[in-house]
Structure 1
Amino acid sequence: MKLNLYLSEILITATVCSLVLVYLSWRRRQLPIAKSYGLGVFAGAFYTFGYAFELVSDDLKDILFWLKFEYIGIPFAPTLWMIMVLQYTGRQAYIRRWTVAILMIVPVCTLAAVHTNDWHHLFYRSVSLDFSEGVPLIDLNHGPLFYLHVVYSFFFFFLGMGLLLHMCFIAPSRMKKQIIFMMIGSCGPFGFSLMYVTGILKTSIDVSPFGFLISGVFYLLGIYQFNMLRLSPLAHQKVFDSIQDAVIVFDLDHNISEYNRSASRMIEGLHNRNAIGQPAATLFSSYPILLNTILQEPLSENRVLSGDHGNDRVYQAQVLYIYDNRSRPTGKMLLLRDTTDAVRSEERLINNAKQLQELNTFKDELFSVVAHDIRDPLAILLNLMEILEEELPAGSGGHEEIVHEMGQQLRKTLTLAENLLGWFRKHQGGMILSPDTHDLFDAVQMSLHLLQIRSGGKGIVMVSEVPPDTWVYVDKEMLSLIVRNLLSNAVKFTDTGGSIKVRAEHSDGKMIVAISDTGVGVREDLAQTLLQSDYSTSTAGTAGEQGIGLGLAICREFVRLNGGEIWFDSDPAQGSTFYFTLPLPPGVSNIDSNIAVDLYERRAAE
C-alpha cells in the first residue's frame, strides 16, 4: 500500500479522535470553555478529514475541492483556540460579542478568499500538481492573503502559549500537569504547521493535520486524568482563594499540599510559598490543639478550639478526607474559621442580658414594694379622713372645704396606687390567679362604701340590687379591683344628682354583672377602642376628675383572666352600662335571668 493511503488512514483516525472530543465537550456544554474548545476541535476536524481525502485524490479538481473543504475550519481554529485560552486562564472578561466579532473578521475573509481565489489569485497565485513523492500532491504558490492568515494564526498561538506559560508558573503544583497537557496538546497542530510553512521539513506533504492527532491524544488524557474541562486552573485558584474560611490541604503523610489566602493570614508560617511540602508538625508546632486535631482521624462534626499560640483566639475546625475517583483517601483537608469575634459578641450579649434581667428583677421588686407601701398608708389615711369628714361640725367655715378637698385627693391617690399596682402585676406576670368561691354582694358593698364620700359630694345615689349569697368563682383581689374601677368610672362621668345601679343575674352558666349610670355616656370616637387598647385616653370627669387611663385596661385583663368577658352599652347624654361576666362556683345551678341576656348573647355571637 502506498504511503498516501497510510497517511490518509492516520488522518481519519485523528478525525474520529477529534469528534470524540467534540462529543465530550457537547456533554459539558453548560461550561463556556467546553463550547469554545469543542468548536475549535470541530474546526480542526475539517482539516484532518479533508486532507485525508486530498492525499488519495488523483485529479487536481478533486484536490482543490477537498482543499476548500479543509478551509471551512482552518481559518476559525486559531481564533476559537485563543478564546478557549482566555477562558482557561481566567480572562473571560475580555470575551464580549463585539470582541469575538472583530476576531472573526480575518477568518471570514480567509474563508471567502479561498473560495473565490479563481477570481483574484490573492490567496494562491498558482496551483499545480507535484509528483516528487510518487503520488500527486498539490503545489501552491502562496499569495499575500495566505501570509496574512499565517501571521494572524501564529500571533494568537504565541500569545496564547505565553498566557499558558505564565499561568503554569503561578498555579499550584497539583494543577501544573493539567496546564502542561494543555500546552503540549496545543503545540501539536501549530507546531507541525510552523514546520510546514517554514520549510524545515523537506517534503511536499502538509504535516499540519497530523498535529491534531497528537493534540487529540493529550487532550483526551487531560480530560479523563485531570477533568480539564470542568474548571480552569486559574478560575479554580481564584475560587479557592476567595473562600473566607481557611482551607489547608495535606497529603496522607500530613505534609501541606495547598492552602488559600485566608489560611496564610490566620496561621503564622503560611505567609510564603515555601510552606508547600512542609510537615504539619513543623508549621503547627505553635498550635498544639490544632495540630492534634489534624493528626487525628477526621470527624464529621465541627470542633471549637481555643488557647493555641498563647492567645485566646477561638476557632471552629473541621477535618475531612479527600478521595480520588476510586474512593480511596488521598489526603486531608482542614477547614478553619476564626469565631473569636462571634464568641466574644455572644458572651457580651449574654452578660448584658443577665445584667438587664437583674436590673429588671430589681425594678420589679422595687416597684412592688413601693406600690404596696404607698397603698396601705393611703388606705389608712383615707379611712381617717372619712371619719374626720363625718365628725366635722357643720358651719366650720373654710376648714370643711379643706378637709373635703384633702379627702378627694387621698381617694384619687389611692385609686392611682391600686391601678398602678394592678397594671404592674398584669404586665410583670407576678399576679397569680387564685380563684375561689366569693360573695359578689360583699365585694360590691365594700366598693360602694369606699366611694360613698366621693359620690355623696356629687349628690349621686348609688344602689346595689345584688342580693346576698350571690356566689361567683373568681380571684377575690381581682374582683374587688374590677368592681371598684367600674364604679369609680361611673361616679366620675355622672353629673350631680345622678344615679348608679349595680345588678347581677345568672345566665348561660355565668354571672352577668351590670353597672349602670345616668352619666354623659361614651363618646362615639372612643367607643370602638375603649376596651381594645392597653392605655385608654384619660378623660376629665363631670367635676374635673382626672385619671391615667389604666382602669378599664386592668378591668378587661382581670375579667379575661377569670374566664369572663366585658363589654358596654352607651347612649350619649343618657348614660352607660358596663357588663362583665364571671364564672359560677362548681355545682351552682343556672337560674333564668331577665337582665341584658339579649346583649350578652349578641356579644357572644360576635
Structure 2
Amino acid sequence: MNYNLYLSALLMAATCCSMVMTYLSWKRRELPIAISYGLGMLAGSFYTFGYAFEIVSTTLDHIRFWLRVEYIGIPFGSVIWIIMVLQYTGRQSLVHRRLITLLLIIPTLTITAHYTNEWHHWYYKSVTLNWSEGFPLVSLVKGPLYVVHVAYSYILFALGTALMFQMYLRANSRMKKQIALMIIGSWGPYGFTLVYLSGVIYMPIDISPFGFVFSGFFYLWGIYQFNMLRLAPLALQKVFESMQDAVIIFDLDNNLTSFNQSAKGIVEGLHKKHIGLPAFQVFTRYPTLLERIIQGPTVDSKIQISGQADAKFYNIHMSAVNDTNQKPVGKMLLLSDVTEMVRSEKKLLENSRQLKELNAFKDRMFNVVAHDIRDPLAVLTNLMELMEEELQTCGESHEEILQEMGQQIQNTFTLVESLLDWFRGQREGMVFHPVALNLSNVVEVNMNLLQIRSARKGIRIRSDIPLGSIVYADKEMLHLVLRNLLSNALKFTESGGIIQLQAERVEGKMIVSIIDTGEGVSADLTDSLFQEAYSITSEGTDGERGFGLGLTLCREFVRLNGGEIWFDSTPAQGSTFFFSIPTPPKATHFMASTEGRG
C-alpha cells in the first residue's frame, strides 16, 4: 500500500480536529476573537480536506477539482489569522470594515486568479502529473500571482508574530505561557510551508496542510489548559443564559473580555469593539466602577455609578472567576439594579417622617384649640366678675351685660363647633379643602370675635379690604391664621392704638397685611419668630400671653394653602405681618359673598 493513503487519513484527522475547533468557536461566538479563530480553523479544514483527496486522486482533472476546494480556504487564512492576532493583543479597535476590506483585496485576487488560471496561466504556468513516488502527484510551475499570494501571506505572518512577541515581552509570567503557545501554534502552517517552498529538504508532497495538525495540538492545549483564546469564559456559561443583571468579564490584567446585553444598557457606549481593551480606557466615565475593578473582589450596596442626579442605584459585586482547577482566570463584575428598592425604602422613611409630623401636629392642635378658645373664655370670666360687682349694687340694669355675655357665649360655641368640624376632617393628616372665600367677610367674622377685647383695651380695628375680594383657601385654616395674627396685634398694641387690615392682589395671589401701632418685635426675636422650636412666650401690654405656637401654625397653614408669611417691624413703632393666599382658578372664580361667615 502506498504511503499516500496513510497521509490522506492523517489529513482527514487534521480536518476533524479543525472542525472541532470551529464548533467550539461557534459556541463562543459572542466573542469576536472566537469568530475569527473559528473562521481560521474552517479555512484550514478546507485545505486539509481538499489535500487529503488530492494525494489519492489518479487523474489531473480530479486533482484540479480538489485544488479548487483547497483554495476556498487558502487565500483567506492569513487575513483571518492577522485579525485574530489584533484581537488577541488588545487591538480590537483596529478591526473595522475598512481594514478588513483592504486586507481582502489580495485574497480575492488570488482565488479569482486560481479559478481562472486556464485562461491566463498567471497563477500556475503549468500543471502536470508526477509518478515518481508510485502514485500521481501534481507538479506545479508557479506564476507571478502565486508569488504575490505567498509574499502577502508571509508579510501578514511576520507582522502578527511581531505583535505577539511584543505582547510576550510585556506580559507577566502567567500570560507568557499562553502567548508562547499561540506563537508556536501559529508557526505550524507557515513553518511547514516555508520548508516545502524553500527546497532545503526534498519533499515530494506539500507538507503545508500537516502544519494544521501541529497547530491544532498546541491550540487545543492552550485553550483547555490556559483558556488561551478566552473561548471558555466560565462565568458566561453559568450566568449569561438566565441572568437579567449586568455581567462584565475581565481577565486578570483587567482587560475587558465580554459582557451581556444588560451591561450595554447600563454602561453607556459599551461596544464589542472595546473587547480586549484595558478597563481604564472603557470605563473612563465611571470612576466608581473602575475603582472596584482594580480593587478586586468586593461587595457594595446601593451605589450610583454615574454623577447624574437621577442616576439609578446598583448593588456591585466584583468576584474572581476560577477554572475547574480553582485557578483564577479572570474577574466578574455583577451589577444588580436596586433603584426601585431604594425608592421604596425612601418612601417608607418618608411615610415614617409624615407619621411623626402627624403626631406632632396632633399635639400642636391641642395648643391651637387652647389658644383660640382661651381669649373668649377670659372675656366671659371678666364679664362674670363684672356682673357680680354690679349685682351688689341694687337697682341698676344688667341688660347690656347680659346681652354681651350671651353674644360672647354664642360666638364661643360657634368657634368650638367650627374647630371640632375641622379636626374631624384632619384625622388623615394635614389635608385641606380649598374653596372660594370672600376675604372681607372672613375678616369681619374674626373682628367681631375680638370686638369686646379690643374695646376693653381701647384699640380700634379697621378693615380696608375691598368688598368682593375673593381668595381660594381652606376656610378654617384661613380663620385660624387671621384670628392668630389679630390676637397677637391686640396683645402688643398699647391702649388707644390702631390695627389696620389691607389686601392687594399681586400676580394671582392676594397679599393680606395686618398693621399695628404696637411695640414691635425685638431684634433678638426677629430670626426665631416663625421657628417651630420657638417656645418662649412674651407678655402683652396688659400682661397677656405672648408669642407661642400660634405663629408657627400660621406659617404651616399658609404654606399648605400655597402662600407665604413674613413680617416687617420697627421696635416701639409697630409691626406689619403679611401673608399671601391664592386667588381662585378661573373655573371657580365667582362671588362668594356669604362664604367665611361662621
TM-score range, shorter chain: 0.5 to 0.7
The residue aligned with 1:253 is none
Give runs of aligned pairs for residues 536-555 of structure 1, distance below 5 A: 541=501, 546-547=513-514, 554=553
Matched, 1:578 2:510: no
Distance 1:299 1:519 in 2: 68
Give runs of aligned pairs for residues 338-487 of structure 1, distance below 5 A: 432-434=364-366, 443-444=375-376, 446=378, 464=407, 466-467=409-410, 470=413, 472=416
Distance 1:74 1:530 in 2: 92
* SS of 1:464 mapped into structure 2: helix
Matched, 1:527 2:459: no
Distance 2:66 2:591 in 1: 110
TM-aligned CA distance change 1:447 to 1:552, over 3 Å: farther
- Cα displacement string for residues 367-422 of structure 1 (whole angstroms, at most 9, x for unaligned residues): xxxxxxxxxxxxxxxxxxxxxxxxxxxxxxxxxxxxxxxxxxxxxxxxxxxxxxxx
TM-aligned CA distance change 1:5 to 1:21, over 3 Å: same
Q: What amino acid maps onto 1:444 in structure 2?
A: P
Shift of residue 547 of structure 1? Answer: 2.1
Shift of residue 464 of structure 1? Answer: 2.9
TM-aligned CA distance change 1:430 to 1:7, over 3 Å: same
Q: Which moved more, 1:568-577 or 1:439-448?
A: 568-577
Q: 8 Å contact 2:34–2:229 — kept in the other structure?
A: yes
The residue aligned with 2:77 is 77
The residue aligned with 1:419 is none
Distance 1:572 1:62 in 2: 103
Give runs of aligned pairs for residues 293-332 of structure 1, distance below 5 A: 324-326=322-324, 328=326
Distance 1:473 1:14 in 2: 101
TM-score normalised by the chain length of structure 1: 0.52
The residue aligned with 2:221 is 221
The residue aligned with 1:44 is 44
TM-aligned CA distance change 1:167 to 1:464, over 3 Å: same
Distance 2:71 2:28 in 1: 27
Matched, 1:131 2:76: no
Q: What amino acid maps onto 2:171 in structure 1?
A: A
Distance 1:568 1:224 in 2: 79
The residue aligned with 1:342 is none
Runs (5+) with no aligned partner, structure 1:
249-258, 264-297, 303-318, 336-424, 451-460, 480-488, 504-516, 562-566, 581-606
RMSD: 5.7
Q: 8 Å contact 1:493–1:521 — kept in the other structure?
A: no
Give runs of aligned pairs for residues 177-188 of structure 1, distance below 5 A: 177-188=177-188
The residue aligned with 2:346 is none
The residue aligned with 1:583 is none
Q: 8 Å contact 1:522–1:571 — kept in the other structure?
A: no
TM-aligned CA distance change 1:200 to 1:448, over 3 Å: farther
Distance 1:94 1:560 in 2: 62
* SS of 2:514 mapped into structure 1: coil
Distance 1:131 1:165 in 2: 43
Name which structure has the greater RCO, CA cutoff 8 Å, separation 6+: 2
- Cα displacement string for residues 406-455 of structure 1 (whole angstroms, at most 9, x for unaligned residues): xxxxxxxxxxxxxxxxxxx99x98975547998998743657999xxxxx
Distance 2:295 2:106 in 1: 45
TM-aligned CA distance change 1:219 to 1:475, over 3 Å: same
Q: What amino acid maps onto 2:94 in structure 1?
A: Y
Shift of residue 172 of structure 1? Answer: 1.6
Distance 1:247 1:541 in 2: 65
The size of the alignment, in residue pairs, is: 389
TM-aligned CA distance change 1:531 to 1:522, over 3 Å: farther
The residue aligned with 2:158 is 158
Q: What amino acid maps onto 2:56 in structure 1?
A: V
Runs (5+) with no aligned partner, structure 2:
232-250, 257-275, 302-316, 334-356, 383-403, 424-438, 451-462, 487-498, 505-511, 517-529, 531-549, 561-581
Q: 8 Å contact 1:33–1:229 — kept in the other structure?
A: yes
Q: 8 Å contact 1:492–1:541 — kept in the other structure?
A: no
The residue aligned with 1:369 is none
The residue aligned with 2:17 is 17
Q: What amino acid maps onto 2:87 in structure 1?
A: Q
Distance 1:556 1:74 in 2: 87
TM-aligned CA distance change 1:490 to 1:129, over 3 Å: closer
Q: What amino acid maps onto 1:32 in structure 2?
A: P
Distance 2:406 2:589 in 1: 20
Q: What amino acid maps onto 1:213 in structure 2?
A: V
TM-aligned CA distance change 1:468 to 1:217, over 3 Å: closer
- Cα displacement string for residues 335-379 of structure 1 (whole angstroms, at most 9, x for unaligned residues): 9xxxxxxxxxxxxxxxxxxxxxxxxxxxxxxxxxxxxxxxxxxxx
TM-aligned CA distance change 1:447 to 1:23, over 3 Å: farther
The residue aligned with 1:359 is none
Shift of residue 546 of structure 1? Answer: 4.3
Distance 1:560 1:137 in 2: 101
* SS of 1:138 mapped into structure 2: strand
Q: Which moved more, 1:197-206 or 1:547-556?
A: 547-556
Shift of residue 225 of structure 1? Answer: 1.2
Shift of residue 196 of structure 1? Answer: 1.1
Q: 8 Å contact 2:36–2:83 — kept in the other structure?
A: yes
* SS of 1:37 mapped into structure 2: helix
Distance 1:574 1:147 in 2: 103
Give runs of aligned pairs for residues 188-337 of structure 1, distance below 5 A: 188-230=188-230, 235=255, 239=278, 324-326=322-324, 328=326
- Cα displacement string for residues 98-125 of structure 1 (whole angstroms, at most 9, x for unaligned residues): 2111111110111011110000000000
TM-aligned CA distance change 1:147 to 1:323, over 3 Å: closer
Distance 2:374 2:293 in 1: 82
The residue aligned with 1:292 is none
Shift of residue 521 of structure 1? Answer: 3.9
TM-aligned CA distance change 1:501 to 1:324, over 3 Å: closer
TM-aligned CA distance change 1:573 to 1:261, over 3 Å: closer
The residue aligned with 2:387 is none
Q: What amino acid maps onto 2:409 in structure 1?
A: V
Distance 2:465 2:405 in 1: 13
Distance 1:437 1:13 in 2: 99
Q: 8 Å contact 1:85–1:160 — kept in the other structure?
A: yes
Q: What amino acid maps onto 1:54 in structure 2?
A: E
* SS of 2:33 mapped into structure 1: helix
Q: 8 Å contact 1:518–1:576 — kept in the other structure?
A: no
The residue aligned with 2:106 is 106
Shift of residue 130 of structure 1? Answer: 1.2
The residue aligned with 1:93 is 93
Q: 8 Å contact 1:439–1:468 — kept in the other structure?
A: no
Q: 8 Å contact 1:192–1:210 — kept in the other structure?
A: yes
